[in-house]
Structure 1
């Protein structure tokens, strides 16, 4: 079949997680459960942070932003997949596919930036405690978040403009459960060299540089902890980093592998498995990681529950 210009292509076909229709009920139930856990869980983190004045600090300001991004992240992919399974339909419109690519890059990039900023916040809190409130003032924290949104907006927009010049065949099949950038480039019928170069550059900007920033922050944190004489002080200082380190390991251990491994042969099934981890499982687990390991968050959630159950 000859390639057609994108203006003639009205839809793509998402092949989903499995071609076995008998597994659809199980997949539908599993992903619906994860979605119904992830959205309320992250929403509770946001509400608790807003409700409890003791959480009005830079660390929890960034955490509430991370929870908002996680809600948007999982909502970009799961509802469409659930709708397709329920309707026994694999279609996604051309504009819908590009919108999905754009939003996924946006929210994945914001997750990268926020995790990096949260590491910097812990670095300042532990290594420069006397100047913490001066450095991490509300204006600076807000500026960090706004600048992150602006940067990722333009990076995502350029991706879409480059994809918009590609050609695809009618009813192009994407071996995935959502329009993942690397998979969309693979099914194009024209040269995607420029797109792939830009993908690797943006992956470095959104992934490698934040990781370097996180590693630098924690190298300074470890150095500062080693200089402390009190074991209790060491444990208390590092315990505030434990939740963040768990999320960093979970997100980067799966997310970066999707793009960095696209340079080599990677089966569609393995790619989808990795994608499930960073687009669905990570947003679902983040609220548990931060609430179960954090006394302040647990206390704020208890206060919120009492306020909702017994309003004065």
Structure 2
């Protein structure tokens, strides 16, 4: 072919290969350094993961959340090492492209898995909250029971009827919950009423004495007794006292014992606990013998 010189073409190829070889030789130290840095970050991630595993064992009881948190920490450290390695290789354009693509992919995944990610992050938050732990008795979202599991999607509550309720983590984070197990002692309420002919001061003193005998108060704790209202058949009151409570069953046991002991004391003193009655009063005198 006219104008085509094989020698010039071969010479050009060799020149290009020579330039590549020179670039490879010049860049070899940076490549080796980048590999070493990346390996160092992998080793660091391993030891940091082990250290955090020991820390998380004290604060996170749920194995799935603990392992997930450790994997995330390791991935972040390795990713940082990867970016450092690219920087040592002077691949700034590649690094920018990767960051841009990661941003777009992350946004798409975030939008697609919005609900799932919300529950996942909520699960991580719950795992670090000292106010809620496995074994605690809680009331939340209309359910009450003992927490048997906390994972990355939901918590599992075992109710007193032995049924399990699964609640998404985001519901626990967004809604208020009551934890009976966080405090060793709580107040218990007793509602009752006595007859209108009762000596109210004597009833008050007797009720307080009975509760103090069977539920010893500690420190600044005290039994409180307050009359509330004039009811249809009785004068009603509420009594409050402190006792050991870590779950709802403890409250029921304390109320049961208090009611039995108060009833015994009232019977011994002749104090009446009336039941609702209705009195019919005929104001007009009627006579069957009156023909009018």
Task: Decide: shared fold, TM above 0.5.
Answer: no
Q: Which has a greater percent of strand?
A: 2
Which fold has the larger relative contact order, with Cα–Cα distance below 8 Å and residues 6 or more apart in sequence? Answer: 1
